[in-house]
Amino acid sequence: MRAGIPRLAALGILLLSLPALGASYQRGPKREEMLLNDRVVVVDYQTSATSEDLLLPFYAGARVENSYSYTITTKEGAPVLYYACAELATRDAAGRVAEDYRGKLPGQPQPETISDKGGKRLVLAVATATEVRMVTITERDGGSHIQLIRSTKPVIPEARPQQATPRPPTPRGPGRQPGHGMRRGMRA
């Protein structure tokens, strides 16, 4: 169990570094290599995400304010993580938007209300063993702000085994033979 903690920490660091790639301000797709668990991973950033990428419909009549996606694979092409996000704006009330998404999500989850210093949000989420889809709705300017997220379960690549570092040969010569240090009874 403890071996998983460094892997999760490494993934957390990688995910925190993704905005540095320019999520909201990127002008075009970008491909970059990074290290995760001492393995090279490839991050493909796309400047837009579709409802098909998110496996969530865009709310009817809503304006897309921002969207993007990341695909992370090992250098050999094995999947590590997929993440897509879209932010929408509508004039409809948050409760109406939540009911619409409730009817469109598998299992028709009830919206949960979260209130904190950031305000009040309605959150609907569904999860399987391999992915999470989440809808967050916030009241804004007489309408609603909608955030759609889809993320797959991370598959952390195993760390490459550490190669034993070869030891330099022991110097040989007069007075420098292995096992022969100072003789007994001699003082330094």
The answer to whether 11 and 36 are in contact (CB under 8 A) is yes
Q: Which tens digit of pLDDT belongs to each residue from 97-147?
A: 999 999 999 999 999 999 988 789 999 999 999 999 999 999 998 999 999
Q: Kindly give the residue spans of alpha helices, DSSP state H, lying in 50-175.
A: 51-54, 94-104
Residue 179: what pLDDT? Answer: 54
Maximum C-alpha span of the chain: 94
pTM: 0.71
Does pLDDT of 90 surpass 90? Answer: yes
Using a 10 angstrom Cβ sphere, with 0-12 exposed, 13-18 middle and 19 or more buried, the burial of residue 90 is: buried
Q: What pLDDT shows up at residue 116? A: 87
Residue whose token pair is 């998983």:
4
What is the structure's pLDDT at 158?
Answer: 83
pLDDT above 60 for 21: no
Closest CA to 134 of 72, 79, 83: 83
Find, among 146, 142, 58, the residue nearest to 93 by Cα: 142
58/146 Cα distance (integer angstroms): 9
